[in-house]
Amino acid sequence: MTLVPVVFVAKASIQLETQHPEGMRKIQQLEEGRAPARPDEPDRVFEKPIFTQLLTGPSELWEGQHAHFECRVVPVGDPTLRFEWFVNGIELKMGMF
């Protein structure tokens, strides 16, 4: 195997213009935290959440025990749907305890 030397040649300046202006707009939107609008796809409207399975889990716990609770809710796939869990009026954070 023969090693070939590689020569790098530096340019005098950096080109800051984009070759794909639409792609640059999408990147900026993503960096700002908002999804790019799709003109070909109308905004989806989801119905209000409905519990299809009641909350299940242990009814009694001792201090320090782990608990697992679950339920089922529709609509599935709603990107704006959020769940917040509270105990005695205090919000439980994900992974707390």
Residue 47 vs residue 93, higher pLDDT: 47
78, with CB counted inside 10 A (0-12, 13-18, 19+), is: middle
Determine the pLDDT at residue 70: 87
C-alpha distances in angstroms, 28 versus 15, 22, 31, 79? Answer: 18, 10, 5, 21
Q: Where along the chain do its domains lie?
A: 50-92
CB 64 within 8 Å of CB 83: no
- What pLDDT is attached to residue 66? 83
pTM surpassing 0.85? no
Q: 93 pLDDT exceeds 60?
A: yes
| Structure confidence by residue, pLDDT tens digits, 10-69 | 666 767 777 778 887 888 888 877 655 666 667 778 888 888 998 898 888 888 888 888
